[in-house]
A and B are shown apart, each in its own frame.
Chain A
Amino acid sequence: MNFDDTPQEAEFRATARAWIGANAPKQYEDELRKSSLGRTQLKNANILEVAKAWQKKKADAGWACLHWPKEYGGRGSSPIERVIWQQEEGPFGQLSRMFIIGHGMCGPTMMAFAREEHKRNYLPPLASGEKVWCQLFSEPAGGSDVAGLRTRAEKDGDDWVINGQKIWTSGAHYSDYGILLTRTDPTVPKHKGLTMFFLDMKSEGVEVRPIKQASGASDFNEVYFTNVRIPDHQRLGEVGDGWNVSLTTLMNERSAIGAAVSTGFPELFDYCSSAMLDDGPALEDRAVRSKLANWAVKASGLKYTSMRAISALSKGERPGPENSIGKLVAGSMIQDVATYALDLQGASGVISGSEDAELAGRFQAMLLRAPGTRVEGGTDEIMRNIIAERVLGLPGDIRVDKDVPFNKIPTKGR
């Protein structure tokens, strides 16, 4: 049992470290290091532009999308090299956030299902960040129940005509392309009537409207489709096989091993290390210590769970299902951590404006953004179902709509 790199890993790490040291946008390092959930922004620069510039620089030197094949803009690296890169990239990895969906989900789906010419045309600019992609799955009527989506695609000559509405589309407002899951046959049970496409987000009839979140910020969008035409050659997978195609996408989302999940703990420990309470330093308060200890072991438990998965990768094994706990644990933890940080501030915790609030409102911003972490990318309840069914082998939920034609499923509770 050790944490040492193999000689090849050490060599890769040294090369990556040297390149990052010489090329990363160091002027933003401090701000990126201090960013936390609900607070990733740069004071004097547009973070999207900084992120795109860093991604392009990486791509030109062969450091973008490390695990992708070279011909599609990647480096052809092993999974463990990708993890080492992430470790070395450190705070600059924050700049990859706007590419996560494209690189983690859209790219792999294109690789698995698009025509060769499309792969060669679309994947390299996706890898280099010159083109940004989004994923259009969720709908007002299909959140956790994605297969309940209603956006229609109807064949018209060599094209498909799309009508409907998507929601919770991250980054749609700055995306160039998207992968889109549609219903092509409402007369068969819901999982069987779906088809996947990719499309140009600048197509006529696509309208993107930002959603104002409960936090006040807008990271997500509603996307409306009115008679949008998509050529058939942009179909991904067979007609009616969209559900299986989407599973590839979602599996890639969950297999992003080593991607750090935010727990809020380092921020809270840092805060408590200097905060004074009425009776003295926060870190000497018995109640504070107990709370911190309980969160500390969750944070370290997640860290070492991820190390175990990385070790499996390092040995060329497939990591086990342990990693599915990351988002579930971190999501509710960061919410509790933020709540507690405000509790320590007493009545003044209510002040959230960055000029007047404690720590410029870091924990207030975290609190307001936190509810979303327990919903996005699979709700806590869906994550628990996944663990129960795929890890523990418990029965799937009883699905009363499974064998019913989609257009016969009730649409209103009462």
Chain B
Amino acid sequence: MNFDFSDDQKQLRDQARKFLTEKCSPKAVRIVLDGKAPYDKELWKGLAEMGFLGVAIPEEFGGAGAGHLELCVIAEEMGRANAPVPFSSTVYLAAEALMIAGSDAQKKKWLPAIASGETIGTLALFEGKGNPSPKNVKLTAANGVLNGVKKPVADGAIADFTVVAARTGSSGREGDISLFLVDLKAGGVEVKSLTNLDPTRGQAEITFKDCKAELLGAAGEGWSILTQVLDRAAVLCAFEQVGGSDRALEMGRDYALDRIAFGRQIGSFQAVKHMLADMYVSATLARSNSYYGAWALSTNAGELPEAAAAARISATQAFQHCAKNNIQVHGGMGFTWEFDCHMYYRRANAMALGLGSLTYWEDQLIDHMRKKNAA
């Protein structure tokens, strides 16, 4: 058994960490946090040059053709660095949807542009309140045009194209939903930025008015493709959350070692030690669940839906737990804009919602466990 990443993959992780430590310091993140730029363009360019954007994209479409395990280790580092770039929207959602369902022409058009960093993509699924569900998709597609409103759309204000979930039928079943590709630079859309929990990652409202769109995958297959995309993205996001958890835990640990109160390091008080130990437990459980998700993703195993849901829940909880208690360890200073703690707190809580909230993933997990048990 080798339930671990290979030496090459670990080396890639080290390389990504070194690159991000240099190019994505908290100071750099703050430029986006403070609203001085919508995302870090220089970093995005650098990620493309390093080959990170196309690491899982096949070589024939301009990528490195490595694989999802390689993408997982990079994702972990993106989370650790709290990178203010549209990585998850473009790489986990748009590119994965194209790789699962895109025609040859669609892949040729968009995937090389993603790998080279020229193009930002995203997924427009949500329409206000609610979790992923066919019945929550109201936006219509008819005669090749879309009409309706999507929000929130992650990185919608900076995206060049988006995958859109649209209603093409009214039977009340999953087959009513189809996916479309929309070139956001070609008109027919209004895009409005939305203030959100995590300013380092934009959210937008996109209104589609007789917007030209091209079918992605077969008509009526949209929901089935979408659940596959969400499962893959859940594993990849889980690695970002694991990276974020580890960083928040380290920040808390370091502060507990540096800070003196009542004449001793605050890390010598059991109340603080035990809080940090519990954060370590959460982060470890999340990492192990995520490794299983990575295995299922990389082998396209039948276990992927269950593994993805477990990774998603565990990593979401861990990141929220570590980010929240990191602030607690820091005391009052942790609650200032000046300290970096809130960046992880914001990211953790925004990420907890992005692919559907825990309620949705708990349901997914139990449904799949139940199916397996019945089989």
Contact = CB atoms under 8 A, between A and B. Distances in A.
B167 to A, nearest CB: 26
Given A1-B2, A300-B310, A322 B284 contact: yes
B29 interface: no
A301 interface: yes
Interface string B1-22: 1111110000000000000000
A119 B140 CA distance: 80
A329 interface: yes
B227 interface: no
Given A289-B363, A300-B289, A273 B373 contact: yes
A1 B291 contact: yes
Determine the main DSSP class of B at the interface with A.
helix
A392 interface: yes
A258 to B, nearest CB: 11
B295 interface: yes
B207 interface: no
Determine the main DSSP class of A at the interface with B.
helix
A298 B285 contact: yes
Interface residues of A, number: 49
A393 B285 CA distance: 20
A304 B288 contact: yes
B291 A304 contact: yes
B270 A385 contact: yes
B314 A301 contact: yes
B3 A304 contact: yes
A106 B299 CA distance: 44
A294 B281 CA distance: 14
A292 interface: yes
Contact of A2 (B1, B253, B272): B1
A4 interface: yes
A384 B269 CA distance: 12
A28 to B, nearest CB: 25
Contacts, number: 159
B174 to A, nearest CB: 20
Contacts of B66: none
B273 A384 contact: yes
A321 to B, nearest CB: 9
Contacts of A322: 284, 288
B294 interface: yes
A385 B207 CA distance: 54
Contacts of B285: 297-298, 301-302, 305, 325, 329
A296 interface: yes
A389 B4 contact: no
B60 to A, nearest CB: 25
A328 interface: yes
A1 B294 contact: yes
B37 interface: no
A314 B4 CA distance: 11
A381 interface: yes
Interface string A360-390: 0000000000000000000001011101110
A188 interface: no
Interface in A294-334: 294, 296-298, 300-305, 307-308, 310-312, 314-315, 322, 325, 328-329
A391 interface: yes
B288 A388 contact: no
Interface string A251-275: 0000000000000000001000100
A111 B276 CA distance: 37
Given A304-B288, A391-B280, A392-B276, A290 B362 contact: yes
A5 interface: yes
B202 to A, nearest CB: 30
Contacts of B249: 392
B6 to A, nearest CB: 8
A394 interface: yes
Contacts of B2: 1-2, 4, 311, 314-315
B301 to A, nearest CB: 10
A308 B289 contact: no
B287 to A, nearest CB: 8
A412 to B, nearest CB: 23
Contacts of A3: 1, 3, 295
A268 B140 CA distance: 44
A329 B249 CA distance: 18
Contacts of B298: 1
Contact of B274 (A5, A296, A381): A381
Given A2-B1, A269-B369, A304 B292 contact: yes
A22 interface: no
Nearest to A291: B362
Nearest to A3: B1
Nearest to B365: A293
B284 A301 contact: yes
Interface stretch (B106-114, B178-186, B260-268): B260-268
A361 B256 CA distance: 46
B273 A394 contact: yes
Contacts of A388: 267, 273-274, 276-277
A51 B316 CA distance: 43
Contacts of A328: 281
A383 B256 CA distance: 19
Interface string A101-131: 0000000000000000000000000000000
Given A1-B295, A3-B295, A325-B284, A296 B365 contact: yes
Interface string B347-375: 00000000000010111011001100100
Nearest to B257: A394
Given A290-B359, A294-B362, A296-B310, A387 B3 contact: no
A290 B362 CA distance: 6
B247 to A, nearest CB: 14
B286 interface: yes
Contact of B1 (A298, A311, A393): A311
Contacts of B286: 301
B159 to A, nearest CB: 32
Given A2-B299, A304-B291, 18 more contacts: A3-B3, A269-B369, A273-B373, A293-B309, A293-B366, A298-B314, A301-B284, A301-B288, A310-B1, A311-B2, A322-B284, A325-B280, A384-B273, A385-B274, A387-B281, A391-B280, A392-B249, A396-B268
8 contacts: A1-B69, A2-B299, A297-B289, A304-B289, A308-B3, A311-B2, A387-B280, A388-B276
Interface of A: 1-5, 9, 269, 273, 283, 289-290, 292-294, 296-298, 300-305, 307-308, 310-312, 314-315, 322, 325, 328-329, 381, 383-385, 387-389, 391-398
